[in-house]
Structure 1
Amino acid sequence: MLLTYISMICYLTERLITSYSDADIVNLTCCQQNKALEHARLPMSHVTLTDYEDNNQQSFWEQCLFPVAKPVKIRLSRKLSGKTILLTGASFGIGALVATLLAEYQVKLILVARTREKLEELQQSLQGKRATVFIVPSDLREERAIDSLLQELKRRNVEVDLFINNAGKSIHRGLDQSLDRYQDTQRCSATNYTGPVQLLLGLLPVLIKNRGHIINVSALNVLLPSTSGWSAYQSSKAAFDQWLRCMEPELKIRNVTVSSVYLPLVRTRMSMVNEKNHGRMAMSKAKAANIILNCIVLGKRKYRPWWTGFVLLWCSLFPNLWYRMQVCYLKKNK
């Protein structure tokens, strides 16, 4: 246990100083293409992207840090039977894997993402499964796109029972690189905060009627002290997390279940764009997907790694330590 605790502290320190993640890019070439598309305001359909191949193998220390049980299939089948599920960020990474796993059950799946080609490819791969799969290409950064998505659901008479908010945008920029890039904060805020709020507000009447379930796939750093370079990402993720947690008591008395999933570093396109992350301890996509499925079965209010409480206790006992470590690190690498 002592060795595991020491390993956890080393993991956290290394992780926070560098980069974070959960669902957006594939390699440096694609990253540059995405940036070019954003500057040129071209649709995502103009570029071909591939997912990060995760072999789902975990080292001994990763097994200790991220123990995750597989969901009981019989219980999951009973929970899901006849349900309608809306999943955002479905084209890559965790979202694509969750969609694939859910397609094994008798459900109606509405898959939402920006990349039409990947959604169509995923839909084709799920043909022959038990689920009925619909795709809705939509850019959740755009208010009009979300309005169109909600109108499309009404047109099809779709009543959502389970909403999985998985879409996310991550970016790391220091102060000097951020001075002329206000758009980074706008894009992170739209994807991670205002977009999900607008979509969820549109879905809530039906979710309340159906006594539904909301699962928010968040980030562990939302619970941890602020970290230099992650202002746009961490603030936008924390904003939606706080918004949802403020709404949770009111949703509870209306019989709507809310589950918040605080994931650590996960091996996805968004994290593995940084080659330094390849050798770092991380959770596999399969484990992240199983956490989401377990939330469906158990209706747990939150998931966070078992050692998070120790870290929060450490931070409360030494509230300025992390700040001083960052200052020392930045001075050394200036």
Structure 2
Amino acid sequence: MIRTRRLATTGAALALALGTAACGATDALVGLRPAPTEQSVAAPLDVDGATAVSARLLSGARAAAATKGKPGHEARAQVLAGDALAYADAAAERGAAGAEDAQLAKDQPPTVLAQSRGREWPRAILATTLDEASSTRYLHVMVSESPEKPFRITSSVPMLAGAELPGLGAQEDGAPLVGVGDGEGLPMSAEKAFAGYAAGLARPAPKKAPAGVSVDDPFGEALTQSAAVQAKALGKLATFTQKHSPVLEHATAFRLADGGVVAFGTMRRADTVAVRAGAKELVLPKRYASLVGKSKVTKSVTLTSVEPVVLVVPTEGDVTAIGATELLVAGKGS
């Protein structure tokens, strides 16, 4: 499991398949045997190959992180896809400071933790980097959807303080990919885990907490504290609600060595402030006004944030978040 900066990897042997050309002979050749078949229970790349792919993609993402507009999007699309591309595009439009939040700006060599098992597609690589300045570790997922599509970064998320990633087994063996709706051997599927985690983070808090899912992590605690501050500041003039909705179209999950699953997905958060009848209007802070397109609202304002999240679904015990971040991307008001 990941706890410290040092991560051990094991080498993988490169198998060479030798073919024979047809020679027209009809008699059996002494010593001739069928060509060995590809191993279907091993990682498709050796450690050096997977590390090279990871390093190239992360370097390209860093180079394009702060470039705005169509040129920036096109450059990022060469190394990013899915949720990671959408997140990085939004971060770039917010400016250089926002682009750093894409978790790709640290020039740190990656360490490959696991690859998907077998020779089929999609194929995935799970790698990690460490920001020594902040002692923050990041998890990165790279996916190749088909033989015609190269690897792209689909998720890049900082680990939460004190969080641990359970072991994924021997690197050369590969880690099976698991469908987000597959709950075999688990108390729930990754899909249900994200739904439960999202429900548990709602504000006002649900009367009955989702079973089997914990939100007692640094990310959940920070959201709880922030919601309390907002509600107190608004007082009797407005109400504050918060809703999280899983978006799992590009989610990826790996089977852990102990049978559990680590899943990478995204949630969209809607923070809504509704003005009560006794209030005339709500004046928006500058950073929110620029997103909403107006400085005052008389009815309500909704701010939308993107939340990449990493969940561990164990074979026993509660689902827990080990990685998460957020980025404010849109707003609307009336």
Q: Please give the TM-score of this superposition, normalised by the length of structure 1.
A: 0.25
Q: Which has the higher helix share?
A: 1
Bigger Cα Rg: 2
The structure whose RCO (Cα within 8 Å, separation 6+) is larger is 1
